[in-house]
Each structure stands twice: as C-alpha cells, then as structure tokens.
Chain A
Amino acid sequence: MSNELIDFFIVSIALLGIGIYGLSVKRNAIRMLFAVEIIINAANLNLVAFARFLPHSGGQTLALFSIAIAAAEVAVGLALIIVAYRMYKNVDIAEFRSLKG
C-alpha cells in the first residue's frame, strides 16, 4: 500500500476544520447539519484508516455503528428543522427565539 496513515489523517483534519468553520459561521440550520455530517465523516475516515493500519476489524465495526447512528441523527435533526420552519417560517437559527410548543 503506497499511501501512509498520515495522509488519511491530514485529509481527516482538513474535513474537521471545514466542518468547524461551517458550524461557527453559518446560521442556516440545514447548512449546520451539512457541517455536522462532514465532521462525522472525518471521524469515520480516521476509524477506518486506523483499522487498516493496525490491522484490526474493530475500527470498521465501530465505523459501521457510527454511520448508522449518524443516519438516525439526521432523521431527527431534519424533523426538528421542519418543525422549527413551520413555527417561525424560517431556517435561520437566530430567528428561533423560543422552542416552546
């Protein structure tokens, strides 16, 4: 294998940085969800990279769990965004003054 562990690590750090930039700058709720997805993918990339270089199957198993939980998180997050959109007619998180039902 010509690629080293550190190459994958650096791509993962770049994705993490982009995700944190998105989370701190964007105010659109859907864009913030994009940023969270990018961060989760950076973490998964690390898990699988370490699993390949150890080599051990545990990292891949954990990555599969992580992908499934991320799917659940996106479903709930999008439902919350839709509810908030219905209440405030906006997806800007600064407009979500109160989340009372």
Chain B
Amino acid sequence: MVDATFLALSVLTIGSAIAALELRSLIYGSIALMGALAGVAGFFLLLDSPFVAMFQIAVYVGSIAVLILFTVMLVRRELIFIKVEDPKRRYAGIGLMLVLMVGLGSLIIDSGLKSVTTDEPPVDFRLIGEDFLTYYWPALVLMALILAGSVTGALVLARREDVADEQRTD
C-alpha cells in the first residue's frame, strides 16, 4: 500500500508534467517542468537515494530548467503563446498515450513485480563514489569529455558571427 507522501508526490509530478505540455504560455510551462523534475527528485528521496536526489535538483531544477527558461525568453513574445496543433493529431496522441499506459500497465500488473518489496537497508551512497572511481572510471572520463564537447558545441552553434565581427572592428 502506498503512503500519503507517495500519493502527493505522484499527483505533483504527473500534474506538473501534463501542465508543462499543456499550459498556454511556454514560461509557465517551463516552471511546471521544474515542478515535475523536483517531484522526481522527491521520489528519489523516497527511494533512499539522497545523492541522486541532490544531483537531480542541482542539474535538472537548478541548471536545465533555468537554461530552458532563458531560451524561452529569447524567443519572440507571440511565439511563446502560439499554439499550433491539429485536433485530429491531438486525439490520436491522447489515444496513443492511453493505449501505451493501459498496455504497459496491465503487462506490469500481471507480471511478478507486484510482490516485490524489500526490507533490506538502502545502498550506502559512499558505494556510488567507489563505483565511479574504480569500475566506472573510463566511463566517468568519457562523460566528462562528452560534457565538455557538448558545451563547446552548443556555444559554437549559438554563436552569432555578425555580432562577433562588429566587436572585432571596434
């Protein structure tokens, strides 16, 4: 049986996820997305994984959501509120979502996962650090390179050559 915290978190997370996609304004949408990501961080706390929860808050709620918010502010005002979607496509999308949820849900409920519970103590977060520095160190180095490469790539992509030239002539 689920407890009240779990129920509140699920309502917050799923409600904010729907709001992020359906709110008219993109700015409110990105704030709702922040709520959904914070809700997932709450689930991580419920799962006794405080380290992943803190990481989620720092990376998702702290940086990604703010990045998205700034990008939304760079876009022209009327585009933030515009809503172009085909009603037919919308109903098809809702149907697809319901089919997927009911199909996967019934599959999972029928499976043996229903009886899985645990009384064992949670994993110590020090183990994660050990994992990172022993078994996963090549992946850690690779991830650092990918992050550096992607940030550099994003900067190169978003650079405005005309503005850079103006500054050079000054």
Q: Which residue of B lies closest to A2 (CB)?
A: B3
Residue B164 CB within 8 A of the other chain: no
What is the bound-complex CA distance between A29 and B142, given in angstroms? 29
A75 CB contact (under 8 Å) in B13, B92, B121, B154: B154
Query: Given A10-B108, A52-B49, are A30 and B68 neighbors across the interface (CB < 8 Å)?
Result: yes
What is the bound-complex CA distance between A2 and B48, given in angstroms? 12
Query: Given A30-B72, A64-B52, A64-B55, are A55 and B118 neighbors across the interface (CB < 8 Å)?
Result: yes
What is the bound-complex CA distance between A61 and B134, given in angstroms? 12
Q: Which residue of A lies closest to B111 (CB)?
A: A6
- Sort chain B's interface into a size bin: 35 or more
Q: Which residue of B lies closest to A73 (CB)?
A: B150
State whether A82 touches B85 (Cβ < 8 A): no
B64 CB contact (under 8 Å) in A58, A71, A91: A71
A31 CB contact (under 8 Å) in B29, B51, B139, B153: B29
Question: Dominant SS at the A interface?
Answer: helix
Q: Which residue of B lies closest to A47 (CB)?
A: B52
State whether A5 touches B116 (Cβ < 8 A): yes
What is the bound-complex CA distance between A9 and B123, given in angstroms? 19
Contacts of B160 in A (CB 8 A): 86
Contacts of A27 in B (CB 8 A): 84-85
B60 CB contact (under 8 Å) in A30, A31, A67, A82: A67
8 nearest A-B residue pairs (beta carbon): A25-B93, A72-B150, A79-B154, A21-B97, A79-B157, A57-B127, A17-B101, A5-B116
